[in-house]
Structure 1
Amino acid sequence: MPSPGYGLERMPPQTVELSMIVKNEARTLTRCLTSVRAAVDRIVIGDTGSTDETISIAQSYGAEIVPVLWTGDFAAARNTVLRHSRCDWIFVLDADEMLDAGGAEKLKHLIQQPGPAAYDIWRWNYVLETNSRSGEQGGLQNPQLLAESHMFPAYVKSLNTRLFRRNPEVYFERPVHETVVYRLQTLALPVATAPFVIHHLGQAEDNKVDRARKNELYHQIGLQHLQANPDDARTCFELGLGELEHFKRPEAALSLFVRALSINPRDCNALIFAGVCMVRMQRYTEALDLLSRARELNSGSIVLDEAMGDAYFHQQQHAQAFAAYESAMLKGSASALVLAKWGVCKLYLGQREPGLQDLRQALQREPGFPELLDLVAVGAALAQDNPFAAAIARKRLPMEGTSAFHYALACILLRLSGDWTVHQEVVHEGLTRFPHDPSLSAEHAMIHL
């Protein structure tokens, strides 16, 4: 006889409760709870030590508050809340997430369906830059389904198991990036994909200090977990991502990805990001070897396409780079950098006007991104559109990371454009910041010729 609630044609009406852990989430909790309260029968919130208005806000929505002692383990905190569950289904959200109106309706309908024991739900992580990524997923254009997301140009998808039937054998594991997925696999329970998304706004809304603090916390918890579980390939991968994306240490990241691959040689994501590290370290032939192995396992990654394009581009294999960037664009990449790189490849392949058009379109997407402006200035110079190149190179000068090279490039392009008045201004400004740079000194000497 099947277990209650599994595979039966007729079931009693199913109930669902929202399960959360929070700390000092007053800024976003109202938005979150408002989005979901009509779809759930109960709200249970574990509080790990809030000192703001979080608890009073939660109580205003009828939430049951569970005090949770924080031990540095997200899974343990969530499992404390799970022990207070009573409904048939558990739905998990964080305070910086929400549903849209359509998602709430679909959630109510979904739990009444027989069959699956859990649902994976696509999470749209909104980002401030089109060039952002999350794991192997690249940035996609924001379709503006949610009013609260209108100011963000793109989102990055990630798949998370956030809805599951209440079952004492289904609980969270892993102290950071906690999940129930391994328990579901161990129990061989059926999992489907939900027909709605979770909107995650926190990644875009956090200020830099808060985001850095969170990244450091996750990193330290991950390091402790890996020390206790040295053969955990997933933790190696997650720590590697942190080293690469947050701390900008590709050498340290590479060692972790290689370690993950020694445990699981078919870890496609570890292959992709080991290849990305090799590109960052200018080891392009090795990068292409790793990325080609990844492509044999999964050809659907925008990040993989971009990394292959970069490796080919830096080896001056512009036709192959063009094909890789085009593949990323056809998959829906919203990245202004990928579009600009694709445009520069067109220039190298003799497609001047389409290439320049891509550069201008990329600038419209991310007009204040320094790396993009560097690429567009060089691409425009390659196309011998010196006035356009000079304007972009000059726009780059007040931005973060400006060096003497940027001033020298702007001076050269202004000189080639015949704009000697602005050339003189930039030379003097550059020499004020970099008084001993020989290239700027040479440009200064040309003023008096």
Structure 2
Amino acid sequence: MTVSACLIVKNEEAVLARAIDCFKGLVDEIVVVDTGSADNTKNIALGFTDKVFDYAWHDDFSAARNFAFSKCTMDYIYSADADEVIDDENQRKLKALLAALPDDVDVVQMHYTNQTDNGSVYNFDTEYRPKLFRRLRPFRWIDPVHETVDTQVRVLNSDIAIIHRPAARHSKRDFSIFRRVAQPGAALSPRLHRLYAQELFLSGDEEDFLGAYDYFEWTLHEEGFGADTVRQSQCVAAKCCFLKKDDGGLFKAALKNVVGKPSAEVSCVLGDHYFDQNDYEEAATWYYTAAFGAECELSARAGGAEPLAKLSECYRLMGFQEDAEKYKKLAGDWSPGQ
């Protein structure tokens, strides 16, 4: 069984050699697709492999990865990023897995770790991700009668950990792509809609939120979107209206959301609204709701450290020092302004 390591890169001179070094003794081929580097990335890649290809960047990671996969020739493709590291222990695990991989496995998932370090869309530090793919998948007929083609993908969950070590966040790059493809009248898939909203709450600044407003506001008035999508849009629209000082728009989005089980993100925005008006008692009510009576739609911290820290600040300003210290302790290292 042979393996291609496959990367798409752009301006990765600081980390590329570190990533490719991890493949020594593990893969039979290294394919690097450069999407427009202006630094020494291509020369570094050529020091490891002669299979370095140029690809014109079109703000589409899927298209670039499909092109990169088309250049691979081995039985399996290991899809890597330049900011990943496989440490010695997990290199040994991967080598053992490759030596004993069952013939019917189509995809191997691995633990993707260290996601919250400079991450932009992650609430959790570790999750399973598909990393190893059979390049050509044979199809076979199954069932003795009413036969059909077996289309089920055989997935193996391994204990191998891939460490994500980016040099910086890539959220500005992501938001530029989101703004291009997310326009009123052009709905994103439910998965991508959630990821856009999630990335805004985890790493977006005021410019990023306001750049997203027209799209998420459109989804609130257009029919056909599911309940989860609508609640995500309510969170984004409420935050955008708060940033724009549009109280009417804020309450229009927020009041629909808080009927029943409110979203923690909307509750935090309502707390921020009253905090800015120096109504700390009302602000505390909404921060408490976010922490103890709401559900997180997009950001885990919206139901934990963030409202707890802001709740502590409200009690401090109201003169209740004991309560302020209690919630400050519960919030941990997080503080307003982060």
Q: TM-score, normalised by structure 1?
A: 0.52
Please give the alpha-carbon distance, in whole angstroms, between the structure 2 residues aligned to 1:70 and 1:342.
49
**Are 2:56 and 1:70 aligned?**
yes
- Tell me by how many angstroms 1:231 deviates: 4.3
Larger Rg: 1
* 2:241 aligned partner: 281
Asked if 1:325 is matched to 2:291, the reply is: yes
Give the counterpart letter for 1:69 in structure 2: Y
- 8 Å CA contact 2:306, 2:336 repeated in 1: no
Aligned in 2, Cα 1:371/1:94: closer, same or farther, shift over 3 Å?
Answer: same
In the other structure, the counterpart of 1:44 is: 31
Who is 2:106 aligned against? Answer: 117
Equivalence map 1:294-443=2 (5 Å): 305-311=264-270, 316=282, 318=284, 321-322=287-288, 324-326=290-292, 333=301, 337-344=306-313, 352-353=321-322, 355-356=324-325, 358-359=327-328, 365=333, 371=337
Name the SS of the counterpart of 1:281 in structure 2. helix
Count how many residue pairs are aligned between Structure 1 and Structure 2.
302
For 1:258 and 1:285, locate their aligned partners in 2 and report how far apart those are by CA, in whole Å: 11
Cα pair 2:193 2:229 within 8 Å, conserved: no
CA distance in 1, matches of 2:254, 2:327: 26
In structure 2, relative to structure 1, the CA distance for the partners of 1:96 and 1:333 (3 Å cut) is same
2:168 counterpart residue number = 205
Shift of 1:278: 0.9
Q: Show structure 1 runs of 5+ residues with no match.
A: 1-13, 141-154, 170-185, 296-303, 373-449
Counterpart of 2:257?
A: 290
For 1:342 and 1:109, locate their aligned partners in 2 and report how far apart those are by CA, in whole Å.
Answer: 51
- Answer yes or no: is the 8 Å Cα contact 1:326–1:342 preserved in 2: no
- TM-score, with length taken from structure 2: 0.65
Question: Is 2:190 the partner of 1:230?
Answer: no
Listed one character per residue, the Cα deviations across residues 383-437 of structure 1 (whole Å, up to 9, x for unaligned) are xxxxxxxxxxxxxxxxxxxxxxxxxxxxxxxxxxxxxxxxxxxxxxxxxxxxxxx
- Please tell me whether residue 271 in structure 1 is matched to residue 231 in structure 2: yes
Structure 2: distance between partners of 1:220 and 1:329: 27
Letter in 2 for 1:290: N
C-alpha distance after superposition, 1:187-234 (max 9, x if no partner): 5424455534443333x525xxx864x3465246536xx69x934435
- Deviation of 1:307 after TM superposition, in Å, equals 4.0
The one-letter code sitting in structure 2 at the alignment partner of 1:189 is: V
Distance 1:125 1:40 in 2: 25
Query: In the alignment, which residue of structure 2 is the partner of 1:90?
Result: 77
Which AA in structure 2 matches 1:281? C
Partner deviation per Cα, 1:320-378 (whole Å, 9 max, x = no partner): 6425325899998598634412434666999743522543786x836xx7726xxxxxx
In the TM superposition, residue 28 of structure 1 has moved relative to its aligned partner by: 0.9
- Deviation of residue 20 (structure 1)? 0.7
2:127 and 2:315 map into 1 onto residues whose CA distance is 32
Q: Out of 278-287 and 84-93, give the one that drifted further.
A: 278-287
1:19 Cα deviation from its structure 2 partner: 0.6
Q: Tell me the equivalent position of 1:166.
A: 135
Q: Distance in 2 between matches of 1:358 and 1:329?
A: 19
RMSD of aligned Cα (Å): 4.6
Q: Is the 8 A contact 2:15 2:83 kept in 1?
A: yes
Change (3 A) 1:333 1:196: farther
Q: Secondary structure at the match of 1:125?
A: coil
Q: CA deviation at 1:266?
A: 2.8
* CA distance in structure 2 between the aligned counterparts of 1:109 and 1:360, rounded to whole angstroms: 45
